[in-house]
Each structure stands twice: as C-alpha cells, then as structure tokens.
Amino acid sequence: MMNMINKLFASVALASILAGSVFAGGLLGFSASGLAQQTELEARFDKSLNAENLREWMRFLSARPHHVGSPKGKENAEFMRDLFRKWGYNAEIEQFDVLFPTPKTRILEMIAPERFTAKLAEPPVEGDATSGQTSEQLPTYNAFSADGDVTAPLVYVNYGIPRDYEELAKRGIDVKGKIVIARYGGSWRGIKPKVAAENGAVGCLIYSDPRDDGYYQGDVYPKGSWRNENGAQRGSVADMPVFPGDVLTPGIPATKDAKRLDRKSAPTITKIPVMPISYADALPLLKTLDGPVVPDGMRGALPITYHFGGGDGTRVHLKLEFNWDIKPAYDVIAKLPGSEFPDEWVIRGNHHDAWVNGADDPISGLVALLEEARAVGELAKAGWKPKRTIVYAAWDAEEPGLIGSTEWVEMHADELNKKAAVYINSDSNGRGFLGIGGSHTLESFANELGKSVPDPQTKLSVWERARANQMVNGSPAVRNELQSRPDMRIFALGSGSDYTPFLQHMGIASLNIGFGGEDGGGSYHSIYDSFEHYTRFGDRNFEYGIALAKVCGRAVTRFADADMLPFGFTSFADTVGVYVGEIVKLTDTMREETATMNKLIQSGMLTAAQDPTRVFVAPKPERPVPTLNFTPLQQALARLRESAARLDGALKERTLAPATQRELNAILMKAERDLLSESGLPKRPWFRHQIYAPGFYTGYGVKTIPGVREAIEQRDWIEAGRQIESVSGTLDRFSDTLDRAAKLAGR
C-alpha cells in the first residue's frame, strides 16, 4: 500500500559526507574478528544475487490479480512457501479469517443540473498485457466504505482535511446532508470520509486530480507513467489510526472462532459511503459546481474554474452495496533457527497481496525480499549458522488494512514480546534514493547499512547519493543538519505498511527500507500497476531491487550475527530532543497566531479586509493558548541524554564477556518496549508507542510524541498536560533500562 510513502523517501532519505572506508571505525556490535567474517559473508551474499530472479518472480507473481481471497493470491502464497522450503527454511502458511468487503453495487450519477452516469471503469490499454483481465480484477472501490444510497447536493472540499472545512465555514458553506468530493492527497485517504462524516456529510467521493496524480505531473499511461483520465485509486478507508488489522477483531487474532464485533457497530468501518473515481468521471461533476471560487492552493489542474458548490445546483446520487464476506488471508512465514540464540528473532517482511496485479505495490519489494532470502538460504546451505533466528514473512491482506501482519502479531504477541529483536520492513521499491525510516535506536545501524552498499547508477554508496540528494533538494534546516551531524537522520514512521503492529503496538524496534524518487509514479492501486508499467517506468533492470536485497540482507545478517545487538541510544535521545523542541515551538507559534487572529477578529479588521459582496463568516476567537509546563519533559530528556551517552560509551569502549553480552542483549532487544504505555494513546489504546504514531488526522503521516503533540494541535490543554506527564514517565522508564544496561556494562 506504500507507494505514496515511498515517494516520500526521495525527499527525506538517508544520506552523508563522501566518507572514506566504511568500516574504518568498526561495525556496530562486531568485534574485529567478527567484522572480518561478516565482511566476507556479505561479499558472498552479494555475489549470489541475480536480478533475473526478480524479473521472473515479478512476472509470475503479478501475472493475474492477487487480492485477498483471490485464487491467484493463494497460488502466490503457496508458490512462495515452496520456494522458502526449497531454500532450506521451515516455511508454513498461517491462515486468518478476515472481513474483506468487495463491491456488489456501484452507482454514481449526476441528476442535476444535467444527467451524467460515471463509468467507474479502467479500460485495458494497448501494450499492457494484464490490463484486460477484467474477469478477475477488483473494480475501483474503497474497502470498508459503508453501504449507502444517498442523493444530495455536491460540495468540493479540496483534500477534505480539517483545515479545508475551516475554509468552507468562512464562506458559509456547510456539508451537512451533502455529498463531498475530495481530491486524493494531503492525507491518507481514510481521513477524508472520517472528517466528512464528522462534519455531517452523507457521502464521499475521492478522485485523482491531475494536479497531484495525472497529466500535470507527467505524460500519462501508456505514453508515460502517470495516471490517465480513467485511472482510479483503490484503497482501504477503514479508520486505521484507531486500529489496523481485521476490523472485527481489534487486539485479538482473527482466527476462525474468534469473538467478532458486530459489523454494524465496528468502529473503523466508515459512517458514510465512499468511492474513488477517476478524473474523467469527476470532471463533469466539478464543472457544474457553483458558489464561491476555490482559493489558490486548493485548486487542481482540470481545465475549469474550481467552485465549492454547496448550493442545490449540482445533485448526485451515490449507491454502494458490498459483499461483506469473511475471506482467508495467507501469511507465509519462513524460519531459519538461530544456532546460539534461537529465542532472539530477526524478522523481515513485505506484503504479497495487491489491489490488482500490483507489480510495483508490493511485488517490487517482495521479489527483493525473496532474492535476499534465497541468498541467505544459500549461505546457510554452505555452512553459515546465524546466531539468531531469522524469520521471513510475506504478509497477506496488507492493502485492506495491514491485516495479515497485524493478525499474526496479535496471534503471537506473547512470543514476540519475548523474542523479537527487530523488524525490518519493505514494500514497493523503485529507482532512486535510499530512504530509511524507523526507530532511532537503530539510526546508527541504518547509516552503516547505507554506507556499505553501492548505488547502481553512480560510483557512490547509496548513503552518499541519498545525502547528495538532501544536500541539493533538502530544506535549509535539513542541509544545515547534514553538515553538522555525521549520521543522516532517519525519518520517523507513521503508518502505511506492515511495520505498524510491530513498532507501534508491540514496541519492537523496526526499520522500513526502500528506494525511490526516480521512477515514474501514477500506477498506484490501479490496474495499470503491471509488469509492463514497472519494467518501463520503474526499476527497469531490477538493479535497485538488488540494492534493496543488499541493504536488507546486511540488516538481517548483521542483526543475526552481531555479538552485541547493534542499537545506539545517543541518536535516539538527540532525536527526541528535536521532537520536544518542535512541540515547544509549535505551542509558542500557536499562542502567537491565536493571539494575532483573535485580535484581528475582535477588532473587526478580519472582516474589514473581506470583499463585502461575498459571504464571509468570521471564525470565533479561540481560547488563548496557555503556558504549558514542559519542564517534566525537558527533565526526562536531559536524563535520557545522559543515560544514552553513558550506555553508548560503555558499549563502545569495552569488550564484554559473552555472558554479560548475552545478558545485555536481552535488555537491549526489549528496550523499545519501554517506550510503550500500557493504556495506549488517547482514544486509540491499540497504538501504544509514545514516540511514533500515525496522525489521527493524517493517517500515514507520522506524529512524533503523539500524545502531547495531538493534544496541543487539538487545543486540549488539560490532555496535553496529562500527556506531558505520561511521556516523561515513559522516558524515565526507558532511561532506567539504559542505566541498568550501563551498569551491567560496567558503568
């Protein structure tokens, strides 16, 4: 599901100074002799990688639609299980029984001021062999839309996020009882119907505007890669920021006999019917809207004047009915037991289900994982014995809501709590720049990974090239930081792929790794995400697939064999410091802006600046932003910095006895668990991580220190105070753990 995120990688990717020898300063967690062995292992690993495997597997796995519950989905799972077995793994399919709605009725028509019936279809295009497989394709729809049959006036709501409704309100436009049409972008799609329903809308259309995802960006398919006028973006709209996974079994595995919620009261199914449409279907509707002209910045690239509508001029009829079936989801789980520490698990996953053929999403990442697993299996067959257990996973049902991974995590929660040392995720992969997001306790480790893999297109390491990209295209703040900090900062994870249950529910340190930024977009969640599209516009020669296998193969084997688990805590403390600084600044900025705006409202100046011939409803003054007491957080941060520095120093300086190492590793692998809170985040207890969460109103986009940050954003000052206490306590517990570890290490 991760294409949008993958594009993000390009701008926030990992990168650095044109460094000398990568291993000059050693390798985190390895002794000198360990390093020599590891270097030799990686050379053999690299040598066995073969891009042709990726190509052939992509051809096979994307040959037919393979969504949840499809015959091809099952075939792919079994194919992969058999490959893993062939490569020497203990491989099994684990089945979960999950709610997976598919459309029964889809009607969208305009009934005034003129009649128009939307096509709701993506036609086959010449030169794209799989685009004609209409009998097996899922039609364009949003999974977990409610059933509904509504006829109402239409209102354009831009991206359909909260601040768009503020603009509507200023113009006296209410969406109550109306159908909204939002363009894709600006948030994860599931936010749009959620906010629309909160505002009283009775239906929601989401269309791909060519400004964000069509001819404005580049030539359209099949001439170029970009979405053509008939392309529509499928996708889940379940309220995943509340909880992901099967919508009927929050927090527990969706086994055959699990106790399920009643569908009618399942909280993450949308309250109103929602459907994605193409810009060819949206244009006739948008053209007829009247009312105020949409302000610059909220307009798309269709050749019309964008109006908000909202009057009775344009009326549409939307009818949606779904088959609310329970379908089997097949997770493929392959294990290579550890020789020394079988109860320390290194987990590596990528999903296998797609909305249609999914050559890019997710097969491009999956085939890299397969090739990596094959090469690891070969090393093992040749006698290498990883110290820790390696677990490869190909998740099903990621697209409808990270379901395969979430159910598996919920099924094995106790075991994972005890055994999981790290989770490494990938998803779509493309040509371009390395991007790594994840736990900042793994930031130094991640930087080492990037420095040791060559970029396929230049003579640089993938780390150096990503850094060059940021030095050239990054914001001034990013460029400054790059010049003053040896490591590149990895980005914080929100959501959008299978790391979420591991990191944010279980507190397992995680990384998400991929390349992108130079491949042509536009096929995301459409029938045109095909082998032909990918091999013309994606990573044509699969050289970045190989690069991904190299980066993740290093991550897996280093984690599996390191003497000391390669965590580092100074970077984490430094990053938390950045987040705390952001939040303090956010509060100050809100305070100033609120005061300024209140003054403009109360003095009448805001109204005086408006065109009196147009409707203008001045917003109500906001309560002044109080002075929040951030001291507990700043104290906890200060302590964290000290504890992290002490522990990192100890790990760096001393060679510890194996028994001590073992004891220390047991602490380190679980340290991230201390960043969870028992009760979870306000209104969404499933999300327990106190540092990283998807935003309640962004969906994919991360909110760091989410309890505090979102309370402030939502002007809930009492909750903000509570959350400052809670996070401070969490950080103190984490520091306790670091202190315990440092003591063990002799400090």
Using CB under 8 A, list all residues that contact a copy of itself: 18, 210, 215-220, 224, 226, 293, 299, 301-305, 432, 457-458, 460, 464-465, 467-469, 471-473, 479, 518, 596, 600, 603-606, 608-609, 611-613
Q: What is the dihedral of CA 693, 698, 700, 704, to 10 degrees?
A: -30
CB of 482 to a copy of itself, least distance (A): 10
DSSP H/E element including 338? none
CB of 210 to a copy of itself, least distance (A): 7
Nearest to 175 by CA among 332, 346, 310, 369: 310
Asked if residues 318 and 150 have their Cβ atoms less than 8 Å apart, the reply is yes
Nearer CB in complex with a copy of itself: 36/304:
304
CB of 24 to a copy of itself, least distance (A): 20
CB of 604 to a copy of itself, least distance (A): 8
Nearest to 155 by CA among 283, 308, 272, 281: 308
Nearer CB in complex with a copy of itself: 212/663:
212
Asked if residues 598 and 78 have their Cβ atoms less than 8 Å apart, the reply is no
CB of 403 to a copy of itself, least distance (A): 36
Nearer CB in complex with a copy of itself: 287/733:
287
Measured distance CA(168)–CA(184) in Å, rounded? 18
Measured distance CA(134)–CA(441) in Å, rounded? 47
CB of 450 to a copy of itself, least distance (A): 14
Measured distance CA(196)–CA(155) in Å, rounded? 11
Nearest to 428 by CA among 545, 284, 547, 298: 545
Count of CA atoms in the C-beta half-sphere (13 A) of 283: 12
CB of 512 to a copy of itself, least distance (A): 22
CB of 133 to a copy of itself, least distance (A): 28
Measured distance CA(669)–CA(509) in Å, rounded? 8
Nearer CB in complex with a copy of itself: 24/608:
608
Count of CA atoms in the C-beta half-sphere (13 A) of 448: 23
CB of 220 to a copy of itself, least distance (A): 7
Nearest to 267 by CA among 293, 239, 294: 239
Nearer CB in complex with a copy of itself: 229/563:
229
Mark 119-137 as b/e (b = at least 16 C-beta within 10 Å).
Answer: ebbbeebeebebbebeeeb
Looking at residue 718, what DSSP letter applies? Answer: H
Nearer CB in complex with a copy of itself: 477/609:
609
CB of 544 to a copy of itself, least distance (A): 12
Measured distance CA(611)–CA(615) in Å, rounded? 8
Asked if residues 374 and 53 have their Cβ atoms less than 8 Å apart, the reply is yes
Asked if residues 386 and 561 have their Cβ atoms less than 8 Å apart, the reply is yes
Nearer CB in complex with a copy of itself: 457/535:
457
CB of 452 to a copy of itself, least distance (A): 18
Residue with tokens 């969706």: 254
Token digits of residue 542: 């699969």
Token digits of residue 496: 């959008």
CB of 434 to a copy of itself, least distance (A): 13
Nearer CB in complex with a copy of itself: 13/549:
13
Nearer CB in complex with a copy of itself: 225/405:
225
Nearer CB in complex with a copy of itself: 307/352:
307
CB of 522 to a copy of itself, least distance (A): 11
CB of 301 to a copy of itself, least distance (A): 6
CA angle 307, 313, 318 (to 5 degrees): 95
Nearer CB in complex with a copy of itself: 273/474:
474
Taking CA atoms, 427 is separated from 72, 233, 359, 503, in Å, by: 19, 18, 11, 16
What angle do the packed helices 32-48 and 543-561 form, to 10 degrees?
Answer: 150
Nearer CB in complex with a copy of itself: 532/539:
539
Q: Can you list the alpha helix ranges (DSSP code H) found in 246-395?
A: 279-288, 365-381
Q: Which residues contact 116 (CB under 8 A, 6 or more apart)?
A: 109, 110, 284, 285
Q: What is the dihedral of CA 268, 273, 278, 282, to 10 degrees?
A: -130
Looking at residue 360, what DSSP letter applies? Answer: I
Measured distance CA(698)–CA(701) in Å, rounded? 5
Looking at residue 624, what DSSP letter applies? Answer: P
Nearer CB in complex with a copy of itself: 92/167:
167
CB of 470 to a copy of itself, least distance (A): 8
| Phi, then psi, of 737 in degrees rounded to 5 | -60, -45
Give the number of other Cβ atoms within 10 Å of residue 599's Cβ.
12
The amino acid occupying position 434 is L
Nearer CB in complex with a copy of itself: 22/293:
293
Nearer CB in complex with a copy of itself: 20/612:
612
